[in-house]
C-alpha cells in the first residue's frame, strides 16, 4: 500500500480568448495535471511537460498612502518604491489547486462500478477549454461511446456534477480555444514572445 500521495504530472495549457485586441494582459497560460494512474491508462507519458517557462515581470512603482489619504509615488518622501524589471521562472506546482475533472473508464470495479480517472485544471479553464484540451491530449483510440476496459467514455464530469462532451481529435486539432504543448517547439509557440519555454532535465 502506498505510504505517500502519488505525484502530479503537468501538461502545459493555453486558453485563447477572443475579442481581446485592446486587452493589456496576455491570454492565460499555465498547467493542468494528472496523477500517474491517469497518465499510464491514457498513454500520456510522452506529453508530460518537463520544464517551465520564463517571463519578464515589468517594473512598477509602489505607492504609499498616508493617513490623510494622500498617495505618494516614488519621491524624496517615498524612497525606494521603484521595483525593477525582473525575470521569473514559472514551474508546475507540487500540489495544484484549481478544479478536479473526472473521466469515466469502461473498466469496472469488483462492485460493478465504472472506474474513474481525474485531471486537475486551473480555475480559468472553462468547460469549453477543458473539452478541447482533453480532446486534443487523449489519443483517439482511447475514447469510445462503448468504452471497454482500456478506454474512456467521451465525456468529462465537472465538480458540479455536470457532464461536458470531449472534442473529437479532429475538432480539437483545428480548434484554438485551448492549446496543449505536446513538444518543446509547440510549447514556445503557445507561450509567444512574452514568455520563454525552458526545457527541464531528464
- 82 domain residue, yes or no: no
- 116 domain residue, yes or no: yes
- 161 domain residue, yes or no: yes
The span from the CA of 99 to the CA of 119, in Å, is: 8
pLDDT at position 1: 40
Write out the residue range of the structural domain in which residue 26 sits.
8-53+91-199
**CA distance readout (Å), 151 to 75, 132, 166:** 64, 18, 14
The span from the CA of 161 to the CA of 65, in Å, is: 46
Cell of 102: 473526472
- 65 domain residue, yes or no: no
> What's the number of CA atoms in the CB half-sphere (13 Å) around residue 96?
24
Question: Which is nearest to 139 in space by CA: 8, 14, 39?
Answer: 39
Domain count, the chain: 1
pTM for this prediction: 0.80
- Give 86's contacts (C-beta < 8 A, 6+ positions apart): 56, 57
Q: What is the mean pLDDT of each run of 10 residues along the chain (202 residues)?
A: 69 82 72 95 94 78 68 55 74 87 95 95 95 96 96 96 94 89 87 81 63
- 167 domain residue, yes or no: yes
Amino acid at each position: 500500500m502506498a505510504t505517500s500521495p502519488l505525484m502530479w504530472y503537468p501538461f502545459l495549457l493555453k486558453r485563447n480568448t477572443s475579442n481581446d485586441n485592446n486587452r493589456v494582459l496576455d491570454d492565460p497560460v499555465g498547467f493542468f495535471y494528472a496523477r500517474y494512474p491517469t497518465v499510464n491508462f491514457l498513454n500520456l507519458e510522452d506529453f508530460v511537460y518537463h520544464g517551465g517557462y520564463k517571463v519578464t515581470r515589468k517594473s512598477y512603482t509602489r505607492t504609499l498612502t498616508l493617513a490623510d489619504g494622500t498617495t505618494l509615488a516614488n519621491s524624496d518622501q517615498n524612497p525606494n518604491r521603484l521595483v525593477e524589471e525582473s525575470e521569473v521562472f514559472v514551474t508546475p506546482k507540487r500540489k495544484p489547486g484549481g478544479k478536479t475533472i473526472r473521466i469515466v473508464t469502461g473498466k469496472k470495479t469488483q462492485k460493478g462500478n465504472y472506474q474513474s480517472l481525474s485531471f486537475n485544471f486551473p480555475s480559468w479553464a472553462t468547460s469549453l477549454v477543458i473539452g478541447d484540451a482533453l480532446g486534443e491530449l487523449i489519443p483517439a483510440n482511447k475514447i469510445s461511446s462503448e468504452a471497454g476496459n482500456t478506454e474512456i467514455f467521451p465525456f468529462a464530469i465537472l465538480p458540479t456534477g455536470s457532464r461536458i462532451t470531449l472534442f473529437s481529435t479532429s475538432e480539437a486539432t483545428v480548434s484554438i480555444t485551448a492549446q496543449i504543448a505536446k513538444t518543446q517547439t509547440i510549447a514556445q509557440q503557445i507561450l509567444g514572445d512574452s514568455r520563454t519555454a525552458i526545457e527541464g532535465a531528464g
